Structure 1
Amino acid sequence: MQDVVAEQSVVNQTHWLENTADVSFIFSAGAAGAIIGLLPSVPLTTEFGVRNVLSFYGSVSALATLAIPFAVSIGYYPVVAARVVQGFGASILFSSIGSISEGWSPISEISTYVAFLSSGFQISNIISMPVSGVLCESEWGWRSIYYLFGGVAVAANISFFTFFRDSASVHRNVSHKELGHILAGRLEVSGKRSVPYLAICKDKVILAIWAAAFGGNMSLMALMTYGPTYLNKVLGLDVRETGFSNAVPYILATAVKFIAGPLSDRLTFIPEVWRMVFFAAVSQGALAVGFFVMALTNSRIVAQVAYTAAIVLAGINIVGVVKCAQMVARQHVHFVMAVISLTAWGAIFVLPIIIGFACPNHTAAEWAVFYIAVGIWVIVMNIPFPFLATVEAAEYTKPEWEQKQGKVAPAPQKIV
């Protein structure tokens, strides 16, 4: 954005694009918007369904993306406002995975569903990183990035709203045979169900899931958000090389997810709890080891391999911790996933502050201390999960629990 700096610079004043604190706050503004967007997302999804809410949120984010070049031309505060709105719209993405899987996934294929749906996070980076690197150095410049991806986002949200329905049982293209397969083994209950917030927050399994997610998200967001900075400032890759190098881990992570999801569903000779714990341990263990290696090596190749491996294997936690959340919380999983999203966006919000304090000069020594601390954090936060993980649906997911609480009248139920 050097053209903006040249156009807007005032003598004896540092432009906001050249002020580290201002740029860091712009990163945090997106996370702040996401945290704001998460607060109403659970009751809105419960009331209006994931189709309507995700379409609205996604459209808001897309329009904010399109508006960023104009905001930059005005000044710093309009950019902050656009980033807040952009983050608001993106806040619901992760929790939507749970809601969509609950409405469409057979119990026996839930790992495949959450793995495939969550691969969108990796695919977006596979596309956006190298394309952005090329566009930055092309005749179209940095503004074309926002116009291109903002336009794609608008089209994607229109397509989603047009074709998606919240449940397979109400979609016109789902046959009776297919619907029977999707609903097999599920307890079919009619009507809306209020979210038992207090019961969920007191559930030891859910608390272990949230702790593991917080530890993993803080470390993963450090890699995802500041990975390009690390590649550029420490490893010495230029902008275009950084774009392509940072896309490689996401390509491999997508491939690994496409393998891990179906593999988790098909290894039925291994107890399902063991499968979840195994994938969670591999995922979070790889993150911790990756951080330790990057902290202790002076080799550019070794550091890049560790960085790549950490991101690649981190993705399979979707069939570990996240699958456990899906199995335990069932129809209330959108709340559990919203809290997991909150940990991710909270990490993005505080990381610029932490990075600004821990790595002000972006030297290898500064990053080494930061990476060791994050590696230890990942291990500590994941300790409770292996001991508390289960595949049993929680009591508060069952109609009889709500009847005992006096929240609903008895209703006919059946196992499909």
Structure 2
Amino acid sequence: MSVEKTEELQDHKNITFANKTRYIVLIIGLFCICFTNGNYNVINFSVICMQDVIESQSVANQTHWLENTADVSFIFSAGAVGAIIGLGPSVPLTTKYGVRNILSFYGLLTAFATLAFPFAVSIGYYPVIFVRMIQGFGASILFSAIGSISEGWSPISEISTYVAFLSAGFQISNIVLMPVSGVLCESQFGWRSIFYLFGGISVVSHLIFFTFFRDSAKVHRNVSHKELRKISTGRMETTGRQPVPYLAVCKDKVVLSIWAAAIGGNMSLMALMTYGPTYLNKVLGLDVRETGFLNAIPYILATAVKFVAGPLSDNLTFIPETWRMIFFAAISQLGLAIGFFAMALTSSRIIAQIAYTTAIVLAGINIVGVVKCAQMVARQHVHFVMAVISLSAWGAIFVLPIIIGFVCPNHTASEWAVFYIAVGIWVIAMNIPFPFFATMEAAEYTKPEWEQKKKNTVAPEDKC
């Protein structure tokens, strides 16, 4: 009996989802990323609905923490602090126990913290800070999870689609969160139901993920031999979980150019996403309703563009793959920079709104540029590369309030113009190295023979 026939008979014993198990994994992973990110952001909307807490907890001649801007700002920052703390152990833990165990643990941690948030509010300010830090701790792994899931399950020919779809969870969570939160906030269920809903769905999503997911398609009972061949084509065989060669990765010029581009892009994008609404409201004079509506449009468009850009990058096979990565990275980051310059130099509300929307939308396709390069170069160690990228994003969230407070204390048009021009220059400067070092080639430290070479190398001082 032929090998192919034997494989077909073996496949008939299990459900193989028409050789599309990797897409089931993609959907489950997308749900986990979407709702974990939603858990982290749910406070952003619900905080405006907590008037009943102020009324029930107010003490005469004392300002409640929900009425103190500095206290509320620190609650937001506490999430970033928790995320930065969570990133530290996430890399060695993922290396040792795999993304299945660690994403499930981190995700459930954030989910239970979200379920506990209303209780923490009923106790007081410091329990809220603690729970907020746990939310951030659990959300810290999301960038690394995108890399690890893609590495274990995506064929090389579909890598752009995979990372684009998984990363769309960040935008989808905001698209879902805002309208649902608005409805629940004004309903008889109140603001607490927002935390219970998102926390509860997140628990279910991560339990399904833990039950169904495996770190590699090779060990999943529902992956057919045909699908496994497709996933494995072009990939190197690795044996088990390998320790991250931290020094080798950190000395890799390609990885350094990836990190530089990510730091430039993340600082700029976080500035736009976090303080764009403030600019629209205070500088351009849009009212709160207009600001809220215009702030939602970029997320919807960014999601749609990601769903197009991922498959497009995979299917433009007549263009060399490295050129494709550079093209999407250039379009993304130049679009982001031009958006900042336009907002800084225009006094037209319409032009500023278009620039704001376009910058956020184009920034999202960097996932099939810089992030795809990280995936292809670092391979099984991509979770470390993505953790550093994630650190740059969380660091930006933590540092930006300090920078904005110093550069734009009065929120005048001239102050914001200076800030936006500086940020536009920053994103261009940080992305200059990437086109010169971008490659599709896997780094030497990802290859099976690299560890063997290290073991066989005898240090000069050890020679006779």
Specify if TM > 0.5. yes
Give the equivalent residue in structure 1 for 2:173.
124
Q: State the shift of 1:357 in Å.
A: 2.9
Given candidates 271, 278, 282, the residue that maps to 2:320 is: 271
Aligned amino acid, residue 454 of structure 2: Q
The correspondence for 2:87, drawn from 23, 31, 38, is 38
Residue 374 of structure 2: aligned partner: 325
Counterpart of 1:280? 329
Q: Which runs of 5+ in 2 are unaligned?
A: 1-49, 458-464
| 1:187 partner SS | coil
Question: Taking structure 1 as reference, are residues 137 and 286 closer, same or farther at Cα in structure 2, changes over 3 Å only?
Answer: farther
| 1:198 lines up with 2:247 in the alignment | yes
Distance 2:416 2:183 in 1: 27
1 CA distance for matches of 2:245 and 2:340?
Answer: 38
Map of 1:217 onto structure 2: 266
Q: What are the within-5 Å matches in structure 2 for residues 62-141 of structure 1?
A: 62-141=111-190
Match of 1:155 in 2: 204
Aligned to 2:304: 255
For 1:191, give the aligned amino acid. G
Q: Alpha-carbon deviations, 1:179-201, whole Å to 9, x = none?
A: 01110121212222111000000
Q: 1:180 to 1:206 in 2, by over 3 A?
A: same
Query: How far did 1:366 drift?
Result: 3.4
Q: Do the aligned partners of 2:82 and 2:132 also contact (CA within 8 Å) in 1?
A: yes
CA contact (8 A) 1:133 1:239 kept: no
1:57 match: 106
Report the Cα offset of residue 232 of structure 1: 4.4
Residues paired across the two proteins, number: 408
- Tell me, yes or no, if the aligned pair for 2:156 and 2:231 is still in contact at 8 Å: yes
Counterpart code for 1:124: S
- With a CA cutoff of 8 Å and minimum separation of 6, indicate the structure with the bigger relative contact order: 1
Residues of 1 paired with 2:178 and 2:203: CA distance?
A: 19
Q: State which of 357, 369, 374 in structure 2 corresponds to 1:308.
A: 357
After superposition, the C-alpha distances for 1:153-210 in whole angstroms (9 at most, x for unaligned) are: 1121122112211111111111101101110121212222111000000111101100
Match of 1:391 among 440, 444, 454: 440
CA distance in 2, matches of 1:73, 1:59: 22
2:79–2:134 Cα contact (<8 Å) kept: yes
Deviation of 1:333 after TM superposition, in Å, equals: 0.5
- After superposition, residues 326-365 of structure 1 pair within 5 angstroms as 326-365=375-414
Counterparts of 1:362 and 1:148, CA distance in 2 = 36
- The reply to whether residue 380 of structure 1 matches residue 437 of structure 2 is no
- For the pair 1:167 / 2:167, whether they are aligned, the reply is no
**Deviations, residues 330-353 of structure 1 (Å, cap 9, x unaligned):** 111011011111111111111222
Contact 1:66 1:150 in 2 (8 A): yes
**2 CA distance for matches of 1:381 and 1:42?**
25
The answer (yes or no) to whether the contact 1:132–1:243 under 8 Å persists in 2 is no
Alignment partners' CA distance in 1, 2:90 and 2:379: 17
Matches within 5 A, 1:235-246: 235=284, 241-246=290-295
Secondary structure, in 3 states, of the residue corresponding to 2:172?
helix
Q: Deviations over 1:348-384 (max 9, x none)?
A: 1112222233334444443333222221211111111
Q: Distance in 2 between matches of 1:106 and 1:91?
A: 26
Say whether residues 1:299 and 2:353 are aligned partners. Answer: no
Contact 2:324–2:369 under 8 Å retained in 1: yes
Closer/same/farther in 2, CA of residues 145 and 304 from structure 1, 3 Å limit: farther
- Over 3 Å counting, the alpha-carbon distance change for 1:83 and 1:226 in structure 2 is farther
1:137: Cα distance to partner? 4.2
Shift of 1:82: 1.1
| TM-superposed deviation, 1:242 | 4.3
The answer as to whether partners of 2:237 and 2:448 remain within 8 angstroms in 1 is: no
AA at the equivalent of 1:94: F
Query: Are the structure 2 counterparts of residues 230 and 135 from structure 1 closer, same or farther at C-alpha, using a change threshold of 3 Å?
Result: farther
> CA 1:70 to 1:230, structure 2 compared with 1: closer, same or farther past 3 Å?
farther
RMSD over aligned Cα atoms: 2.0
Shift of 1:27: 1.5
Q: 1:113 to 1:101 in 2, by over 3 A?
A: same
Separation in 2, partners of 1:248, 1:2:
28
% identical aligned pairs? 82
Partner-residue secondary structure (3-state), 1:342: helix
TM-score normalised by L of structure 2: 0.83
Contact kept? 1:260, 1:319, Cα under 8 Å: yes
Greater radius of gyration (CA)? 2
Unaligned runs of 5+ in 1: 409-416
Q: CA deviation at 1:80?
A: 1.1
User: Following the alignment from structure 2 to structure 1, what is the Cα–Cα distance between the partners of residues 225 and 338?
Assistant: 48
